[in-house]
Structure 1
Amino acid sequence: MAVKEMNAKEMTTKVLNKEDLFIFDVRNVADFNDWKIEGENFQYLNIPYFELIDGVEDIMDQLPKDKEIVVVCAKEGSSKMVADMLSEEGLDVAYFKGGMKAWSEHLHKTKVYEDKDISVYQFVRVGKGCLSYMVVSEDEALIVDPARFVDEYIEAAKEEGATITHIVDSHLHADHISGGKELADATGGSYYLMKSEGAVFDFKPFEEHERIEFKNIELEVLAVKTPGHTPGSVSFFVNKKLLFSGDTIFVSGLGRPDLGNKVREWANDLYNTVYNKVSEIADDVIVLPAHYADFDGEMNEEGFIGDTLGNIRERNEKMFTASREDFLNDVEKSASSVKPPNFEEIVMINRGMEEVDYGRKQELEIGPNRCAVHHTD
């Protein structure tokens, strides 16, 4: 049989549709255990490529004869060679184009919300767990927490007949490289960030722009200072209907406050945010976070990742009802979990203190997001 290829868009469709698929991952065991393509009805086999150099005869009994098999590796090369060997054995097999690097970079666009004033789109970075957004009002667009793939946002805005005029980052990201500054340079749009996050390039500080209005106030964005994940974390309250919560509130948890090595101090800020600021926001407001941890568990029936604040309060009841001391202790328990790889270098890049080429950006971002604190029982 001829060897087929499967690209990231096709793989995303299978994830979204909860299709059956057998993934044969030929990366090292540690890499596979740390991060893989996840689907609710996927089955897996992980055997490192170097164990297959002499052939695949010894592992044929571990592979299905009646199901499509996709071979995955880091960059593509090894998976093509293994797929060729499996095809010669008569199996229906494809290799995953671009490997896990391509999976890390794919953005899936979906509509979140629409009324007479605004249209809102979510960009799901399925392989990385990152979320970004485009809010369109008439012929102008706001981009929230953009990834570094700036051409995709520009093209998406063009499809809506809009120009990107405002770009906002909810905080200084530690697990991926922001596209905010580059997108502003490419479009001439205004880029907003908290001054306290330490960026050294020109931007508009939220400390001086607590309200952003354009298109005759049909789209109003209120920056709500919500420290905790980082000291300068903010959330964006749009038209009193949508809360772009950054890494402060997730569908199934809260942003981890331990990346600055001040876990107790920042956790105290997070507690104040949850109990003094978020508590004032109505239950029917739709929360749209900057990350997710569980694609299948956090994607709703409408096809996007988000939920009403009321449902999130119920789902994470203990986090939203704990005493200050219990809250701080709970966060400290989770603070020993693995930190985002290369996060210190990524922070330096996002501050504008370091420049790297495209290849290095790819390397720095490999792996899952690790920005959430989930309640530990």
Structure 2
Amino acid sequence: MAVMEMSAKQLHNKIKNGRPVFILDVRNSEDYNDWRIEHKHITDINIPYFDFLDDNEDAYKPLPKDTEIVVVCAKGSSAKMVAEILNERGYRVRYLTEGMLEWSQLYHPVIVSEQDGMKIIQVNRLAKGCLSYMIISDGQAIVVDPGRHYEEYLKLAEQEQATIIRVMDTHLHADHISGGPELAKYTGAMYHISRNEMQGADAISYEALEDNQEIEVGNVRVKVLAIPTPGHTPGSVSFMVNDRYLLSGDTIFVGGLGRPDLGGKAREWAQSLYDTVFTHIASMSDETLVLPTHYADRKEINEQGVVGAYLGDIRIANEVLRMQNREQFTEMVAGASGATPPNYEEIVKINRGDVCVPSDVAVALEIGPNRCAVHHS
């Protein structure tokens, strides 16, 4: 009997519906430890595929006979091979069709809020921990921080019967390729990003966020205020929606702050981040709902499936937001950034429009988790 495939969407639906999933990841241990599929409903184990090819009987001992096993590899071929071996031995087994490559390109929209004639949808790129947003009012939509697969937003806008009129990036992304310019091109929408992020770049047409203190969506009054929040990158900008929702980019997260070291000026940018935290953010209400562009841990996803938290709760949980000593703050933030995002220099060049790459190269550049946050919870 042929082994059955499982798509990334089918796997996610199974997880989302609360059904337990047993994953056998057959990549090498280094890749598995760096980046894997995680969820509270998942039990996973890493046994490299060559253990099965070598007929190592010990490889089979941890595998359940009474539970379906989903075999996962990088692109699908090794998983299929192992799944066929397990199938011959009587295991209930399926394999993820295109492996982690397919999982890395799965987008999942969740409604954050729907009231007063406005809807905010958070689009979670689960494997990357990347978040983007669609704000809808009266048939019009703004998209913030879209991922590379711009067609996902076209489909979502069609489902919502909305026309995308503006596309905005909070900053020049370093760990994934922005879909902003392409989405703007295909919809005829205006593309916005900070002028400070695009200095010297002329290949991408954009309107500077500094020139737009207020943007409206639809006939219902929806205010989007551009709030300068440098630190992660010099031109980082956050958006305050209806004085209640802070689309914070990579400046402030549920569990940390944006890393300030990607420009090689960790201490200098950490001090800018200090000014952001204790000037702009300090004046915001505890009732402000922070909606970031990244998350690093699935625990940051709440019971509604949304990555977000009230600023008051973040202040209580996050020591660095209470650390008013500038030098201590700078030392903690500048010294805790960890591994840099792989390929980030090339990704930044792509997002500035300095270079173009074919789709297969773009896929390879984005593989892996995000590493844009500094956690101090």
**TM superposition score normalised by structure 2:** 0.95
What's the secondary structure of 1:172's corresponding residue? coil
Alpha-carbon deviations, 1:5-33, whole Å to 9, x = none? Answer: 22212222344355432211111111111
8 Å CA contact retained: 1:169, 1:180:
yes
Aligned to 2:68: 68
Offset of 1:308 from its aligned partner?
Answer: 1.2
Provide the rounded CA distance (Å) in 2 between the counterparts of 1:155 and 1:137. 17
Question: What is the aligned-residue identity percentage?
Answer: 51
8 Å CA contact retained: 1:6, 1:97:
yes
Is 1:341 the counterpart of 2:311 in the alignment?
no
Q: Given the alignment, which residue of 271, 281, 285 partners 2:284?
A: 281
What's the secondary structure of 2:53's corresponding residue? coil
Unmatched segments (≥5 aa) in structure 1: none
Mean CA deviation greater in 13-22 or 148-157: 13-22
- After the TM superposition, which residues 10-89 of structure 1 pair with which residues of structure 2 at under 5 Å, given as runs? 10-55=10-55, 57-89=57-89
Offset of 1:117 from its aligned partner?
Answer: 2.4
What's the secondary structure of 1:362's corresponding residue? helix
Mean CA deviation greater in 310-319 or 239-248: 310-319
What's the secondary structure of 1:113's corresponding residue? strand
What's the secondary structure of 1:52's corresponding residue? helix
**One-letter identity of the residue aligned with 2:226:** A
Aligned to 1:207: 210
Provide the rounded CA distance (Å) in 2 between the counterparts of 1:127 and 1:343. 17
Offset of 1:331 from its aligned partner?
Answer: 1.1
8 Å CA contact retained: 2:343, 2:365:
yes
Mean CA deviation greater in 147-156 or 37-46: 37-46
Alpha-carbon deviations, 1:231-261, whole Å to 9, x = none? Answer: 0000000111211000001001111111111
Provide the rounded CA distance (Å) in 1 between the counterparts of 2:232 and 2:15. 29
**One-letter identity of the residue aligned with 1:291:** H
Mean CA deviation greater in 286-295 or 317-326: 317-326
Q: Given the alignment, which residue of 298, 303, 306 partners 1:304?
A: 306
Aligned to 1:327: 329
Unmatched segments (≥5 aa) in structure 2: none
CA pair 17-327 structure 1, distance change in 2 beyond 3 A = farther
Offset of 1:157 from its aligned partner?
Answer: 0.7
Aligned to 2:364: 363
**One-letter identity of the residue aligned with 2:322:** F
Provide the rounded CA distance (Å) in 2 between the counterparts of 1:173 and 1:10. 29
- After the TM superposition, which residues 163-242 of structure 1 pair with which residues of structure 2 at under 5 Å, given as runs? 163-198=163-198, 199-200=201-202, 201-216=204-219, 218-242=221-245
Mean CA deviation greater in 122-131 or 324-333: 324-333
8 Å CA contact retained: 1:319, 1:375:
no
Provide the rounded CA distance (Å) in 2 between the counterparts of 1:98 and 1:91. 21
CA pair 189-87 structure 1, distance change in 2 beyond 3 A = same
Provide the rounded CA distance (Å) in 2 between the counterparts of 1:79 and 1:29. 15
Provide the rounded CA distance (Å) in 2 between the counterparts of 1:300 and 1:45. 25
Provide the rounded CA distance (Å) in 2 between the counterparts of 1:319 and 1:307. 14
What's the secondary structure of 1:167's corresponding residue? strand
Offset of 1:216 from its aligned partner?
Answer: 3.7
Offset of 1:323 from its aligned partner?
Answer: 1.5
Provide the rounded CA distance (Å) in 1 between the counterparts of 2:59 and 2:208. 58
**One-letter identity of the residue aligned with 1:373:** V
- After the TM superposition, which residues 248-267 of structure 1 pair with which residues of structure 2 at under 5 Å, given as runs? 248-267=251-270
Provide the rounded CA distance (Å) in 2 between the counterparts of 1:17 and 1:282. 35
Alpha-carbon deviations, 1:311-366, whole Å to 9, x = none? Answer: 1111214433341111111112213x111000000000000000001100110000
Alpha-carbon deviations, 1:28-58, whole Å to 9, x = none? Answer: 1111111011122422222222332244644
Aligned to 1:93: 93
Is 1:351 the counterpart of 2:355 in the alignment?
no
8 Å CA contact retained: 2:138, 2:219:
no
Provide the rounded CA distance (Å) in 1 between the counterparts of 2:174 and 2:209. 19
Aligned to 1:270: 273
What's the secondary structure of 1:280's corresponding residue? coil
**TM superposition score normalised by structure 1:** 0.95
CA pair 10-219 structure 1, distance change in 2 beyond 3 A = same
The count of aligned residue pairs is 374
Provide the rounded CA distance (Å) in 2 between the counterparts of 1:204 and 1:87. 56
What's the secondary structure of 1:301's corresponding residue? coil
Provide the rounded CA distance (Å) in 1 between the counterparts of 2:336 and 2:154. 38
Offset of 1:272 from its aligned partner?
Answer: 0.5
Aligned to 1:244: 247
Aligned to 2:151: 151
Mean CA deviation greater in 86-95 or 108-117: 108-117
**One-letter identity of the residue aligned with 2:186:** A
Provide the rounded CA distance (Å) in 2 between the counterparts of 1:322 and 1:76. 50
8 Å CA contact retained: 1:299, 1:306:
yes
What's the secondary structure of 2:216's corresponding residue? strand
Aligned residues: CA RMSD: 1.5
